[in-house]
C-alpha cells in the first residue's frame, strides 16, 4: 500500500507534457496572393506564405516544373522534411497523402521537389487540397513547423501560368551550351543527325540576345600522321562553321580551333574510343549582365480584357 501511495504521489507531481501543435504558416482566403512572372526562358508561379517566404512553382524552358520553398528566415532544421498533401478543412475524413521527404538546405531555394511530386502538388491544388512541408525547428527538436500552399483562387491563376509555359523555348541555355557532333572515320562533313543538333543550338542562339560567342573545336582520333589528323579536324570544324553561318549566325561571333588528336576524351585503342574522339565541340558563352528585352518577357493582358 505505501508503494502504491508513493507511485500515485509521483504521478501527481510529474507535469503532463503534450506534443505542441505545429506552428502553421499559410495564407488565408483574404490574403492569398499568387504572383506570375517569366519570359521565354522561364516561368515563376509563386504564392506568398505570410511571415515565412514563398512557395514557388519554377518552370524552366526545356524542363519540367519544380516546386521550391524560399524562406525569408528559415526555421526548419537542415535535414529531411516531411512532404505531404492534406485534405481540405471541409473534408477532414479524407486521408493525408504522404509523398516522402525532401532536404532543407541553407541555400536558396531552401527546398526543391522533383517534377513528379511537384505535379502532384499542382493536382492537389486543383482539388482544393493543401500541399504541405512539415519539419522540426532547428532550435528545438520538440517543436514543429508546417508550411502549406493555399488553393484559394488557384484555378484562375493556373490558367495564366499555363499561358506562360506555352511560350517557353523548347530548350534552355544549359542544354545547348556544351554540345558535340561526331564523325565517322575519314569523314569531315556533318550528316542529317548532326544538322538536327546544330539546328537546335542555332535556334537558341537566335532567340537569346545574351549569347555573344560560339567556340568550335575540331578533333580527330590518332589514326594516320599528325599532320593528317590536324587537317581532318580543321575540315570538320570548318564544315560546322559553314553550317552556322549559312543558317544566319553572325560569323563575328564564331571562333574556330582545330587540334588533331591532341585532346582525346577516350582511349584510341578501341573503335568506340576513337569514335568518341572524332568530334567537333560547340561551346556558347552568355552575358549575365544583358537584360532580357521586353518582347521576350511574359505579359498577360489586364484581367478585364480576358
pLDDT digits (tens, 9 = 90+) for 48-60: 999 999 999 999 9
Confidence (pLDDT) at 88: 87
Contact 218, 280 (CB under 8 A): yes
- Model confidence at 212: pLDDT above 90: yes
Assess whether 155 and 177 both reside in one domain: no
Contact 27, 49 (CB under 8 A): yes
Assess whether 143 and 186 both reside in one domain: no
Residue 31 belongs to domain with CATH number: 2.60.40.2540
Q: How many CB atoms lie within 10 A of CB 41?
A: 20
155 lies in a domain? Answer: yes
260 lies in a domain? Answer: yes
Long-range Cβ contacts of 31-38 (<8 Å, 24+ apart):
32/150, 32/152, 32/153, 34/153, 34/154, 34/157, 36/157, 36/160, 36/161, 36/164, 36/298, 36/300, 37/298, 38/164, 38/168, 38/297, 38/298
Exposure string of 229-259, with b = 16+ CB inside 10 Å and e = fewer, is bbbbbbbbbbbbbebbeeeebeeebbebebb
Cα 50 off chain centre by:
25
Confidence (pLDDT) at 303: 63
Assess whether 113 and 183 both reside in one domain: no
Assess whether 159 and 191 both reside in one domain: no
Q: Which of 107, 134, 166 is a domain's end point?
A: 166
306 lies in a domain? Answer: no
Beta strands at 211-218 and 279-286: parallel, antiparallel or unpaired: antiparallel
The three three-digit cell numbers of residue 223, written as one number: 589514326
Residue 240 belongs to domain with CATH number: 3.30.1330.60
Assess whether 92 and 153 both reside in one domain: yes
Assess whether 150 and 33 both reside in one domain: yes
Work out how many domains the chain is built from and give that number: 2
- Model confidence at 284: pLDDT above 50: yes
Please state, for a pLDDT cut of 90, what percent of the chain lies above it: 88
4 lies in a domain? Answer: no
13 lies in a domain? Answer: no
- pLDDT confidence of 14, banded at 50, 70, 90? very low
- pLDDT confidence of 3, banded at 50, 70, 90? low
Dihedral (CA of 147, 148, 149, 150) sign: negative
218 lies in a domain? Answer: yes
- pLDDT confidence of 300, banded at 50, 70, 90? confident
- Model confidence at 99: pLDDT above 60: yes
Contact 43, 168 (CB under 8 A): yes
Q: How far apart are CA 235 and CA 196, in angstroms?
A: 20
Q: How far apart are CA 305 and CA 299, in angstroms?
A: 13
| Domain span including residue 59 | 21-166
Q: Which of 110, 138, 166 is a domain's end point?
A: 166
Confidence (pLDDT) at 135: 97
Amino acid at each position: 500500500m505505501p508503494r502504491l501511495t508513493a507511485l500515485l504521489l509521483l504521478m501527481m507531481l510529474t507535469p503532463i507534457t503534450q506534443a505542441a501543435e505545429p506552428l502553421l504558416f499559410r495564407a488565408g482566403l483574404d490574403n492569398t496572393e499568387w504572383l506570375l512572372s517569366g519570359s521565354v526562358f522561364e516561368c515563376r508561379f509563386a504564392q506568398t506564405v505570410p511571415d515565412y517566404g514563398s512557395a514557388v512553382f519554377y518552370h524552366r524552358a526545356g524542363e519540367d516544373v519544380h516546386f521550391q520553398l524560399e524562406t525569408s528566415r528559415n526555421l526548419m532544421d537542415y535535414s529531411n522534411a516531411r512532404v505531404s498533401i492534406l485534405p481540405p478543412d471541409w473534408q477532414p475524413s479524407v486521408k493525408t497523402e504522404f509523398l516522402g521527404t525532401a532536404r532543407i538546405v541553407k541555400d536558396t531555394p531552401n527546398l526543391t521537389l522533383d517534377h513528379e511530386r511537384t505535379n502532384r502538388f499542382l493536382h492537389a491544388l486543383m482539388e482544393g487540397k493543401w500541399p504541405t512541408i512539415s519539419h522540426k525547428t532547428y532550435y528545438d527538436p520538440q517543436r514543429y513547423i508546417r508550411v502549406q500552399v493555399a488553393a484559394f483562387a488557384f484555378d484562375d491563376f493556373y490558367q495564366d501560368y499555363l499561358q506562360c509555359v506555352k511560350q517557353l523555348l523548347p530548350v534552355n541555355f544549359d542544354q545547348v551550351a556544351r554540345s558535340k557532333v561526331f564523325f565517322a572515320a575519314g569523314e569531315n562533313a556533318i550528316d542529317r543527325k548532326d544538322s538536327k543538333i546544330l539546328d537546335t543550338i542555332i535556334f537558341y542562339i537566335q532567340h537569346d540576345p545574351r549569347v555573344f560567342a560560339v567556340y568550335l573545336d575540331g578533333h580527330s582520333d590518332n589514326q594516320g600522321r599528325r599532320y593528317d589528323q590536324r587537317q581532318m579536324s580543321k575540315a570538320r570544324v570548318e564544315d560546322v562553321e559553314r553550317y552556322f553561318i549559312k543558317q544566319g549566325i553572325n560569323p563575328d561571333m564564331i571562333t574556330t580551333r582545330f587540334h588533331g588528336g591532341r585532346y582525346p576524351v577516350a582511349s584510341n585503342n578501341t573503335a568506340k574510343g576513337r569514335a568518341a574522339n572524332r568530334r567537333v565541340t560547340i561551346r556558347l558563352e552568355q552575358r549575365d549582365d544583358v537584360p532580357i528585352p521586353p518582347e521576350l518577357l511574359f505579359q498577360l493582358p489586364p484581367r478585364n480584357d480576358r
